[in-house]
Amino acid sequence: MKEQEFLTELKEMDMLQQALAILEWDAQTGMPAEASNARAEVSSYLYGKYFSKKIGPKMSEAIEYFSQHPEKLSEVGKAALTLVKEEYEREQAVPNELMVEYSKATANAHHAWQKARQAKDFSLFYDALKNNIRLTKELISYWKKDEQTGYDVLLNIYEPNMTTETLDDVFSTVRDGIMAIYQKIENYGIKPRTDFLHRKVAKEQQQKFVTKVVEDLGFDLSRGRIDDTIHPFATGINHQDVRLTNRWNETDFSMGIFGLIHEAGHGVYEQNIAEKFEYTPVHEGASMGIHESQSLFNELVIASRKSFWQKQYPFLQECVDGTFADISFTDFYASLQQTQASLIRIEADSLTYILHIIIRYEIEKMIFNEEVKVEDLPQLWNDKYEKYLGVRPANDLEGILQDVHWSAAEFGYFPSYALGYMYACQLYYAMKKELDVDQILKSDDYSAIQKWLSQNIHQYGASKKPNQLIYDASGEALNPQYLLDYLQEIYFAVYQISE
Amino acid sequence: MKEQEFLTELKEMDMLQQALAILEWDAQTGMPAEASNARAEVSSYLYGKYFSKKIGPKMSEAIEYFSQHPEKLSEVGKAALTLVKEEYEREQAVPNELMVEYSKATANAHHAWQKARQAKDFSLFYDALKNNIRLTKELISYWKKDEQTGYDVLLNIYEPNMTTETLDDVFSTVRDGIMAIYQKIENYGIKPRTDFLHRKVAKEQQQKFVTKVVEDLGFDLSRGRIDDTIHPFATGINHQDVRLTNRWNETDFSMGIFGLIHEAGHGVYEQNIAEKFEYTPVHEGASMGIHESQSLFNELVIASRKSFWQKQYPFLQECVDGTFADISFTDFYASLQQTQASLIRIEADSLTYILHIIIRYEIEKMIFNEEVKVEDLPQLWNDKYEKYLGVRPANDLEGILQDVHWSAAEFGYFPSYALGYMYACQLYYAMKKELDVDQILKSDDYSAIQKWLSQNIHQYGASKKPNQLIYDASGEALNPQYLLDYLQEIYFAVYQISE
């Protein structure tokens, strides 16, 4: 077999994925309401074409041949082979009937979850969740390699090479550290004023401001676009076409502004993967955690820094026509960093968000490594919220029913969010050794920041594993202390706490 | 073979076409500028999948089997077989090498045409056009059936069952009739005031007005949407998803308003084809001419009637916030019907437009039935413009280089536009026997008009041929007198000519 044949097969798979990505983008951004069934049929037909290639005879032949003759592959071919082989082996390991049962189970579970939410009653979701867990455990038995725990297997779907052992360590440090920061703020902090955050800012005013900001941060609109959706996302259709979506709220402008800055981090990543990887699975992010690190670098590092807002606040004031004319810079900046423990993950601030993730991690690990009973989960959930965040859900909707993930059997996904926070801060401290980040943020030219990220992270796409990327970029393995240092710096300053 | 197998193959082809249609819509409405090459690769890959089904073994088997056993097909299957068979036979008749040569030639001709336009010099397009004509003649030799003239073959690609014999008759009546109307207007007409047509009307104001109008005319936004493009079009993705696009000009509001009303005619047609034909080639318009008749029914019949504007002008005034407060209804209505002979087809008014088409028809017919020399075409073009429209192009860009069609070898397409005008007017006079159209247009409820069109035209999709549709709807064959009567009524009223 020639490498070209292998690459052509990958390209055809990639083109099917591009079509699917456009169909999905369209379904989210503006497809007529009545068209969803017909669209589902088209997408499922094209996905079938893609999947039958992914596990088809040509792929199997290529994997077998090039695993024995790696010298016949270019750098790109080699990187692609590694990824393709991992996926192929995972797909091949599982009996087809199990996958069919799994598909049906998750579809049913989604309906059960929706019903349970309406009734705010976990018992209506109980059977479906139990079934999702049972089937996931069965899948684990096919996927498991020697020393892995069950939960390691799930983690690795989203974050290759990550282990429960590492996360236990890291998360206990982070959990205690954040709780300590939060306690100090609660006890000694001076709360910032936040009333003016709900003043009306027209969508067009927000767009004017944030579009300029994301372009400054490196998002290239000649190879991308920005649309409206209910749930914001970023999607890399191909090297020349990366799309962000955003939701605007005229009485809560910070949502739309931080939202788009966040998505732009994903977008700039996709736009700066080396073009040589195009049309292969290497032209993707390295993992969910690394992808999230790029969006959070924008949101948490850049857009939470005083230096950034020193530069941008005057421009924001220009865009909003005097809406904040009476608000001093100090008050404005402080208002953006308010923290308040709460029940709902997706509404949480940057400091407390990670505790929501750690709660889910601890529970998921118990489910897959320690055989906790499903009926005990709501109580477990509520107890942990009370212990870590000091708040207790009044019902299951505010508690265990809030996330869609378990209904889709996406166990092992949640830690990616927290990894993203830690990676982002670790990258920031590495960057600071080479760049005066605050000086750059006060200037008209942010390009050095994007260049550093592209050089150290973006360009590699999925050709390096996450742990390798982080090690190469920062000179050390994942270290949660950077996150704690960063959060402490930002929040203590705003809450006027001297260390 | 079971009918179900045949219908499944058609459905898969249709789903590939749906994906292609979304990709094309996206390319026209907002794809990032840099993405066009990558998009072309994806579309061409999916088109290849579609085409190999279209001429593939399953289709060949189905055509052979069901042609011998038509009794095994349902109504839908029968209608689909007829269409599929026609296309299959046309595709099969032509040697593959010729199609490849033809593809290359048209791609080259498009570049040559663009260069020639820049230089305003037909000689730069001469070779390519000659080659397009030569190859089209070769194709005709494969497609031709017994008594057809060469140009009949081309006509039938766009308008099944139409003949040069019929068009010669019809077009000479129309040409003489329009020239007579136009002469009378020129000699005795009182020109309407038109200066205020260029007052600024914001895009949002235009949208507010015309979106309501097209919904009133039956366009269902729960199964459709409206976007911005450079070249307006309508595209039926599937029964639940029909999209219109429009171009807005703030200093020439009538363009955007008539443009969207026109496209909505196409859209309402696509939305009201009987759902039973879904996922087959019967769920399409009957022909280019019939499709155009529906858009022109909206534009020329409905939106040119005094009764329509009597109802809508107050609403327009409301939408534009007093921009036309000083303009009387009579002046406003008259301004929309101005006519002025001109050189450029796409800028022509409803009266003179048809003469532009007839010129192209006469020249195309000479090319394919009478062996005119290609080098003589510019002169021929200019002479006909002078004779029929009284204007003479100063250069080839204003003349023979204005249309893209010949560079794409789309000979035989132009007559569809004129057929659309004639069909639209013939349908109007048929409708008037059953409905008081002007009374309906003055009312709040236009649905009876859409119902009549859906019942007589839309619902049949491509299951009836155009001549059959027109006969069944109006009780007679194509009759150009209705167009002349209609144009005379509208224009003489506006130009204050008593007959």
Across the interface, of A15, A22, A38, the residue whose CB is closest to B240 is A38
Which tokens sit at B214?
């097209």
Q: Are strands A224-228 and A234-238 parallel, antiparallel or unpaired?
A: unpaired
Instruction: Give CA torsion, residues A105, A110, A113, A119, to 10 deg.
Output: -120
**Is it the case that residue A350 has pLDDT exceeding 90?**
yes
Kindly state the greatest CA–CA separation across chain B.
70
**Is it the case that residue B450 has pLDDT exceeding 70?**
yes
Decide if B223 touches A, using CB distance below 8 A. yes
Q: Are B98 and B138 a contacting pair, CB within 8 Å?
A: yes
- Fold of the A144-499 domain: Neurolysin; domain 3 (1.10.1370)
Give the C-alpha separation, A221 to A215, whole Å: 7
SS3 of chain B: helix, strand, coil, percent, to 5 = 70, 5, 25
The nearest CA of chain A is from the CA of B339 a distance in Å of 38
DSSP secondary structure letters along A146-202: TT--HHHHHHHHHSTT--HHHHHHHHHHHHHHHHHHHHHHHHH--PPP-GGGGS---
Q: Model ipTM?
A: 0.91
Mean pLDDT of B382-399: 97
Decide if A222 touches B, using CB distance below 8 A. yes
* Angle subtended at Cα A104 by Cα A291 and Cα A375, rounded to the nearest 5 degrees: 80
- The owner of tokens 């033809």 is B102
Burial category of A310 from C-beta neighbours within 10 Å (exposed 0-12, middle 13-18, buried 19 and up): middle
B-chain CB neighbours of A23 within 8 Å are 19, 22
State CA A211 to chain mean position distance. 21
Kindly state the greatest CA–CA separation across chain A.
70
Mean pLDDT of A141-148: 90
A-chain CB neighbours of B22 within 8 Å are 22-23, 26
**Is it the case that residue A385 has pLDDT exceeding 80?**
yes
Give pLDDT, residue A176. Answer: 97
B-chain CB neighbours of A46 within 8 Å are 15, 19
**HSE-CB for A408 with a 13 A CA cutoff:** 7
Decide if A238 touches B, using CB distance below 8 A. yes
* B292 annotated among ligand-binding-site residues: yes
Residue A360 CB contacts under 8 Å (≥ 6 apart), including other chains: A403, A414
Burial pattern B48-83, b for ≥16 Cβ within 10 A else e, equals ebbeebbeeeebeebbebbeeeeeebeebbbbbbbb
For chain B, the C-alpha Rg in angstroms (whole number) is: 23
Decide if A21 touches B, using CB distance below 8 A. no
Mean pLDDT of chain B: 96
Give pLDDT, residue B142. Answer: 95
* Domain definitions of chain B by residue range: 3-93, 144-499
* A266 annotated among ligand-binding-site residues: yes
Mean pLDDT of A431-454: 98
pLDDT in tens, A34-79: 999 999 999 999 999 999 999 999 999 999 999 999 999 999 999 9
Give the C-alpha separation, A76 to B235, whole Å: 40
Per-residue pLDDT band for A146 (boundaries 50, 70, 90) equals confident
**Greater model confidence, A30 or B383:** B383
**HSE-CB for A46 with a 13 A CA cutoff:** 31
What single-letter amino acid sits at B143?
W
Mean pLDDT of chain A: 96
Per-residue pLDDT band for B161 (boundaries 50, 70, 90) equals very high
| CB atoms A222 and B37 under 8 Å | no
Which tokens sit at A41?
């049929």
Residues in a beta bridge with B242: B224, B236
**Is it the case that residue A82 has pLDDT exceeding 90?**
yes
Per-residue pLDDT band for A371 (boundaries 50, 70, 90) equals confident
Give the C-alpha separation, A346 to A96, whole Å: 35
* A292 annotated among ligand-binding-site residues: yes
**HSE-CB for A79 with a 13 A CA cutoff:** 20
Which tokens sit at B173?
């009546």
For chain A, the C-alpha Rg in angstroms (whole number) is: 23
Burial pattern A142-176, b for ≥16 Cβ within 10 A else e, equals ebeeeebbbbbbbbbbbbbebbbeebeebbebbbe
| CB atoms B37 and A223 under 8 Å | no
A 10 A CB-CB count for A373 gives 10
Give pLDDT, residue A222. Answer: 96
Residue B55 CB contacts under 8 Å (≥ 6 apart), including other chains: B88, B91, B92
| CB atoms A32 and B238 under 8 Å | no
Q: Which of B263, B270, B362, B364 is catalytic?
A: B263
Per-residue pLDDT band for A460 (boundaries 50, 70, 90) equals very high
| CB atoms A240 and B22 under 8 Å | no
**Is it the case that residue B498 has pLDDT exceeding 90?**
no
**Is it the case that residue B499 has pLDDT exceeding 80?**
no
| CB atoms B45 and A12 under 8 Å | yes
Q: Are A9 and A58 a contacting pair, CB within 8 Å?
A: yes
Give pLDDT, residue B395. Answer: 97
Give the C-alpha separation, B485 to B248, whole Å: 32
pLDDT in tens, B53-98: 999 999 999 999 999 999 999 999 999 999 999 999 998 899 999 9
Give the C-alpha separation, A69 to A84, whole Å: 16
Query: Is A89 annotated as catalytic?
Result: no
A273 φ/ψ angles, rounded to the nearest 5 degrees: -65, 140
The nearest CA of chain A is from the CA of B7 a distance in Å of 15
What single-letter amino acid sits at A215?
E
B465 φ/ψ angles, rounded to the nearest 5 degrees: -75, 155
| CB atoms A30 and B225 under 8 Å | yes
For residue A337, give the DSSP letter. Answer: T
Decide if B35 touches A, using CB distance below 8 A. yes
Decide if B202 touches A, using CB distance below 8 A. no
| CB atoms A222 and B33 under 8 Å | yes
- Integer CA distances (angstroms), B144 to B54, B217, B371, in order: 21, 41, 17
Size of interface A-B (CB pairs under 8 A): 82
Give pLDDT, residue B389. Answer: 96
**Is it the case that residue A202 has pLDDT exceeding 80?**
yes
- Integer CA distances (angstroms), A480 to A79, A156, A167, A417, in order: 29, 19, 10, 14
Neighbour order of strands in the sheet with A234-238: A224-228, A241-246, A234-238
Give the C-alpha separation, B340 to B349, whole Å: 7
C-alpha closest to that of B203 among B145, B233, B246:
B246
| CB atoms B222 and A42 under 8 Å | no
Q: Are A334 and A494 a contacting pair, CB within 8 Å?
A: yes
- The owner of tokens 């009549």 is B452
Give pLDDT, residue A499. Answer: 65
Give the C-alpha separation, A148 to A468, whole Å: 20
State CA B27 to chain mean position distance. 21
Mean pLDDT of A406-424: 97
**Is it the case that residue A221 has pLDDT exceeding 70?**
yes
3-class DSSP state of A224: strand
The nearest CA of chain A is from the CA of B244 a distance in Å of 12
**Is it the case that residue B201 has pLDDT exceeding 70?**
yes
**Is it the case that residue B337 has pLDDT exceeding 80?**
yes
Which tokens sit at A141?
């038995």
In the stretch 45-64 of chain B, residues with CB closer than 8 A to chain A read 45-46, 49
Please write down the long-range contacts of A386-389, taking CB distance under 8 Å and 24 or more positions apart.
Answer: A388/A175, A388/A179, A388/A355, A388/A358, A388/A359, A389/A341, A389/A342, A389/A343, A389/A352, A389/A355, A389/A356
Residue A250 CB contacts under 8 Å (≥ 6 apart), including other chains: A200, A201, A202, A203, A206
Residue B46 CB contacts under 8 Å (≥ 6 apart), including other chains: A15, A19, B16, B19, B20, B23
Element (H, E) at B235: strand B234-238
Which tokens sit at A288?
């969910």
State CA B467 to chain mean position distance. 16
pLDDT in tens, B400-437: 999 999 999 999 999 999 999 999 999 999 999 999 99
